[in-house]
Amino acid sequence: MRCDVVRFVAFEDLGVWEDELTAKGFAVRYLDAGVDDLGPAALAELAVVLGAPIDADDDGRYPYLADVREVLASRAASDLPTLGICLGAQLMAMALGGGVERGQREIGWSPLTPTADAEGTPWEKLASAPVLHWHADAIVLPPGATSLASTPGTLHQAFFQGRQVGFQCHPEADPEAIERWLIGHTSDLKAWGIDVHDIRAQARTWGDDAVAASIRALRAWLETSGLLPEESGR
């Protein structure tokens, strides 16, 4: 099985999900937005669209955002399993008829509050530990989509429609690689007055629990999406 991953910046990769997907038999292939042909991602058994520090509607400066939305719309029309993270979730929302608006900036690890609709879904497992947040925009839910989680500053931290799932947060983030984020976002962190030492401390304190919860949720979703056989006795 193939997993095509649309990537915008090298340091925002599949994180802790990559080894898990590889172990489950997926051939992971990165397609760099603005560089590679993204068309094949419309047909892969699984696709993931990652995050980046650009606005989801900034087609004027980044015209390939429209190509990503086209891939996401095509996959949704074919009901192919797809995950969108941060910018990827915003682009997914737009492709499904929703949108993006200015929200409250959230940087660092904090817990999610699952909605009632999240009960019994694989992603309910994410609520057992804090998750990394790194955004200042907010998703406007697409028609027919279901919200899965919130935080005090963001109403829709996760949503799904069919087998399309979007996360404003970063469940894939590898706490052991947080230095890449701190370097990649150094200008913004300075401008926002955010102490990198605080983020490092959060990674040390909550990283292991966050990774464990994320992997459990991903495994369960792969099973319920028909991408893997369900494990008995779980």
Report pLDDT digits (tens) over 181-197.
999 999 999 999 999 99
- pLDDT at residue 68 is higher than 50: yes
Q: Give percent of the chain above pLDDT 70.
A: 97
Find out whether 194 and 107 touch, Cβ atoms under 8 Å: yes
For the chain, the maximum distance between any two Cα atoms, rounded to a whole number of angstroms, is 52
Question: What mean pLDDT comes out for the span 18-30?
Answer: 98
Q: Give percent of the chain above pLDDT 90.
A: 96
Question: What mean pLDDT comes out for the span 167-190?
Answer: 97
Alpha-carbon distance values, 140 to 15, 91, 143, 172 (Å) = 26, 11, 9, 22
Query: Helix, strand, coil: what percent of the chain each, to 5?
Result: 40, 25, 35
Find how far residue 154's CA is from the centre of its chain. 15
Mean of all residue pLDDT scores within the chain = 96
CA distance 41 to 175: 27
pLDDT at 37 (0 to 100): 98
Dump pLDDT digits (tens) for 77-129. Answer: 999 999 999 999 999 999 999 999 999 999 999 999 999 999 999 999 999 89
CA distance 227 to 174: 23
Question: What mean pLDDT comes out for the span 151-178?
Answer: 97
Question: What mean pLDDT comes out for the span 45-71?
Answer: 98
pLDDT at 211 (0 to 100): 98
Entry pTM: 0.95
CA distance 234 to 221: 14
The residue ranking higher by pLDDT, 233 or 229, is 229
Domains of the chain: 2-224 (3.40.50.880)
pLDDT at 128 (0 to 100): 87
H or E element at residue 74:
helix 65-77
Question: What mean pLDDT comes out for the span 189-215?
Answer: 97
- pLDDT at residue 233 is higher than 70: no
- pLDDT at residue 178 is higher than 70: yes
pLDDT band at 234 (very low <50, low <70, confident <90, very high): very low
Alpha-carbon distance values, 126 to 111, 157, 215 (Å) = 9, 11, 9
Side-chain half-sphere CA neighbours of 85 within 13 A = 25
26: which DSSP letter? -
